[in-house]
A = this chain, B = another copy of it.
């Protein structure tokens, strides 16, 4: 079998050619794919700075710098997985519930195929319909959730759907295993002094950012991996889990966040988990003048691909 390969820099300069994710071929559907990149360009679930509607495009554009091998880990994802960029979901920019319906339906369709989608957001409200589709296929999943915020509000401005209610909804609809839900990197000011305790009361594990400052995270993720075992797992990476120095281009930045190397340790430590889908969300290009938030997201999406089941490692 021949696997799709990213277009090489010696065939076409990296600033030329169609800016698909990692310069992979485009595919119209997920048929025949083991993993796929997919964009959900939306920002109307955001409560502070807007702009994540341009997130997928910016991440793809910066991803053109990426080369196909993960030298640090030895992962060679394109040697054993069929991967393509299947484009964007046609969301409804003016109506959030309808956008969520469209996302859910698009993922139900995608998941008819045995593919693991890597989603490029978009604000975090998109993870709710994605998890609906995921759970419809796999049942409740384990969740590794990197974020500055727990996103477990009941409503925002009276609305049930917004980027701060995602995991409340997911829990209510039993899309996730609460005891296998890990929220990592939480911090910042809150609406009540025990903001994170709602999560804890549901059985989620909360790891605030201030417990992680300056630390290596391999032990943490090893422990999480041990608890999850082979339960199907979704990985949701809100880019604001990272420190604003690393990821300025996001909607609700909070100081004191994770470093990129901590993020890479967490993702790399997921090797062995049965990740059945994942996302990198909340990249807002209009606040990312250097482009480096999008570049970071592109790298993290690649690292997620590298820990998908079935990836060949040379080391």
Contact = CB atoms under 8 A, between A and B. Distances in A.
A129 interface: no
A2 interface: no
A216 B61 CA distance: 35
Nearest to A286: B286
A90 interface: yes
B13 A292 contact: no
A95 B196 CA distance: 27
A10 interface: yes
A49 B62 CA distance: 11
A159 interface: yes
A134 interface: no
B249 A260 contact: no
A88 B51 CA distance: 22
Interface string A290-315: 11100110010010000000000111
A255 B299 contact: yes
A191 B19 contact: no
Interface stretch (A37-45, A108-116, A172-180): A37-45
Contact of A296 (B19, B54, B244): B244
Count the copies.
6
Interface residues of A, number: 105
Interface stretch (A139-147, A207-215, A273-281): A207-215
A47 B315 CA distance: 28
B290 A69 contact: no
A223 interface: no
B244 A193 contact: no
A252 interface: yes
B314 A90 contact: no
Contact of A69 (B192, B255, B259, B288): B192
Given A10-B158, A193-B69, A87 B17 contact: yes
A124 B93 CA distance: 15
A48 B245 contact: no
Contacts of A287: 286, 290-291
A74 to B, nearest CB: 5
Contacts of A53: 13, 15-16, 50
A208 B244 contact: no
A292 B244 contact: yes
A159 B292 CA distance: 28
A185 interface: no
A-B pairs, 9 with minimum CB distance: A193-B314, A16-B88, A50-B50, A248-B290, A71-B190, A286-B286, A67-B189, A213-B261, A245-B245
17 contacts: A9-B157, A10-B156, A16-B56, A44-B94, A46-B93, A50-B53, A67-B188, A68-B191, A69-B191, A71-B189, A92-B159, A93-B162, A94-B156, A193-B313, A213-B259, A244-B246, A287-B290
Given A189-B299, A248-B292, 6 more contacts: A13-B41, A13-B91, A16-B90, A210-B264, A255-B295, A288-B290
